[in-house]
Amino acid sequence: MITIAKRLQHIEEYYFSRKLGEIAQLNAAGYDIINLGIGSPDMAPPQDAVEVLCAAANNKKGHGYQSYKGTPALRKAFSEWYAKYYTVALDPDTEVLPLMGSKEGISYISNTYVNEGDEVLVPNPGYPAYAAATRIAGGVVRYYDLTEEKDWLPDLEALQDQDLSKVKLMWVNYPHMPTGAKGTAQAMDGLVNFAERNNILLCHDNPYSFILNDTPLSIFSERGISEYVLELNSLSKSHNMAGWRVGMVAGHRSHINNILIAKSNVDSGMFLGTQMAAVEALKQPREWYDTLNNVYKERRDIVWQMMDELNCTFNKEQVGLFVWGKVSDEVKDVAQLVDDILYKAGVFITPGFIFGSNGDRYIRISLCSETERLSAALERIKEFKNININQA
Ligand SMILES: Cc1ncc(COP(=O)(O)O)c(C=O)c1O
């Protein structure tokens, strides 16, 4: 028998990949499941970007392998985007590396820096890819707590009191997924200080800064580039281009060169048309984000009503593509609640426990569905609640 490599033995199949299979089966059996689980933007990318992509696809000369470092035009566009929206100066030749989404950046950064046995600080709750990439690289996941009481920000004083000698890297992500905590410039500054003081590479994953958020922040906004800091960014959410796979990592030139070693041995560059289209996307004026956010605001109102129907408490200041709510004490089992909503109401929402134990008492609802679909989900949830009350 051919056995799976040890590095994958303690890594489960991604929760969504399993659950989407279940949803597909239900749909095949004739149910019309409303999937409010995943944060895959459903609106169209900027029209200029689509047109450039189509033209590029028709250009016979644009189909060869591309540079591992992305085109100079794309690196320049990222650098100008950072200057305009984050007031951060990035040298496009040395401090920016285009990626196929930020998720692959998580994996490349882990493979570039994490040695067997190195500890990596990972948020609980947080995006599951940080822990998975750490384990695949042979590192040891050391979760740090994020709690509602502390606005989902790390307690750096508590961390500082611990033995950090084996910690090589720390993942942070503001606006935070799944909680929607916005983060502050002051918190970012504290994190950079913490990393520098403890010789830790701080990796800030920043794909949500434009969603329902008027003041996009970069980890570099306060103090510029540091040898202790990296930032990932992405067009997946900000430009509705999740399937296109365009992202980037920014940081000190030495890190960009090191990450390139990992990357250039895995992929062979990104399709030229995608890169040219991404340049167009990055040129969008502020109105692009405003228009997008007006739609998300409308949707969020409906999701807030869903949260109310489900007796969840939630913070209306949260940002990003989801609404994160705490279930009431009456709910004994969140997994059961989520399955009941799936099987009895035909609506899929995400249980908070998949993001870590501090998410145990929470659920997350995505804003990536049309208003009509969300309204239908709201009606189904009202109905579901009535049935449950009548059965009680
Ligand atoms: C926190 C976080 N980081 C990264 C990603 C991946 O984004 P990308 O599409 O750029 O790979 C996601 C996607 O859901 C995310 O929630």
What are 218-231's pLDDT values in tens digits? 999 988 999 999 99
Mutate to test the pocket of ligand 1, among 205, 210, 274, 319 (most ligand atoms within 8 A of CB): 205
Q: Is 272 exposed, middle or buried (0-12, 13-18, 19+ CB in 10 A)?
A: buried
Q: Which has more pLDDT, 196 or 12? A: 196
Is the shortest distance between the CB of 126 and ligand 1 below 6 Å? Answer: no
Q: What is the fold of 47-285? A: Aspartate Aminotransferase; domain 2 (3.40.640)
Q: Which ligand 1 atom sits nearest the alpha carbon of residue 39?
A: 14
How do beta strands 167-172 and 119-124 pair?
parallel
Residue with the smallest CA separation from ligand 1 atom 5 is: 103
Question: Which residue, judged by its Cα, is nearest atom 6 of ligand 1?
Answer: 103
Contact yes or no for 284/45 (Cβ under 8 A): no
For 340, counting Cβ atoms within 10 Å of its Cβ (0-12 exposed, 13-18 middle, 19+ buried), the class is: middle
* Domain-wise residue ranges, the chain: 6-44+287-391, 47-285
Give the integer Cα–Cα distance in Å for 35 and 374: 10
Integer CA distances (angstroms), 45 to 242, 289, 292, 368, 370, in order: 9, 11, 10, 14, 15
Q: How much is the average pLDDT of 288-295?
A: 97
- Own/partner pairs, 312-318, CB within 8 angstroms, 24+ separation: 312/363, 315/148, 315/180, 317/182, 318/179, 318/180, 318/181, 318/182
Going by pLDDT thresholds of 50, 70 and 90, the confidence category of residue 385 is confident
Q: What pTM does this model have?
A: 0.95
Distance 226 CA to ligand 1 centre (A): 23
Cα separations in angstroms, 153 against 24, 197, 206, 234, 302: 36, 18, 15, 22, 27
pLDDT value for 388: 67
SS3 365: strand
Q: Give residue 153's pLDDT.
A: 98
Query: Tens of pLDDT along 189-199?
Result: 999 999 999 99
On the question of pLDDT at 390 being above 60, the answer is no
Query: If pLDDT is split at 50, 70 and 90, which confidence band does 9 have?
Result: confident
131 is written with which tokens? Answer: 């822990």
- Give the pLDDT score at 8: 85
Contact 168, 201 (CB under 8 A): yes
pLDDT at 25: 93
Average pLDDT over residues 357-385: 96
Provide the pLDDT confidence category of residue 36 given band limits of 50, 70 and 90: very high
Can you tell me the mean pLDDT for 260-265? 96
> In angstroms, what is the span from residue 287 Cα to ligand 1's centroid?
23
pLDDT at 100: 96
14 pLDDT exceeds 90?
A: no
- pLDDT value for 391: 55
CA dihedral of residues 62, 66, 67, 73 (deg, nearest 10): 40
**May I ask the CATH class of domain 6-44+287-391?**
alpha beta
* CA 133 / ligand 1 centre spacing (Å): 13
Average pLDDT, the chain: 95
DSSP 203-235: EEE-TTTTSS-SS---TTTTT---TTEEEEEES
What pLDDT, on the 0 to 100 scale, is given for residue 28? 94
Strand order in the sheet with 313-314: 313-314, 322-326, 362-366, 350-351
**Ligand 1 centroid distance, CA of 145 (Å):** 20
Average pLDDT over residues 166-172: 98
The DSSP secondary structure of 240-286, one letter per residue, reads S-GGG--EEEEE-HHHHHHHHHHHHTT-----HHHHHHHHHHHT--H
pLDDT at 19: 85
Select from 335, 309, 327, 325 the least CA-distant residue to 366: 325
Q: What is the mean pLDDT of residues 255-284?
A: 97
Contact at 8 Å (CB) between 269 and 246?
no
Average pLDDT over residues 362-369: 98
Q: Is the CB of 39 under 6 A from ligand 1?
A: yes
The average pLDDT across 16-34 equals 90
Q: What is the pLDDT of residue 222?
A: 87
Q: Name the more confident of 364 and 18.
A: 364
DSSP class of residue 121 equals E
Structure confidence by residue, pLDDT tens digits, 170-188 = 999 999 999 999 999 999 9
Q: What is the pLDDT of residues 90-118, one digit of tens each?
A: 999 999 999 999 999 999 999 999 999 99
Q: Which residues contact 109 (CB under 8 A, 6 or more apart)?
A: 133, 169, 203, 230, 232, 249, 259
* Residue 16 pLDDT: 77
pLDDT tier, 11 (very low <50, low <70, confident <90, very high otherwise): confident
Q: CA distances (Å), 187 to each of 125, 174, 386, in order?
A: 17, 10, 43
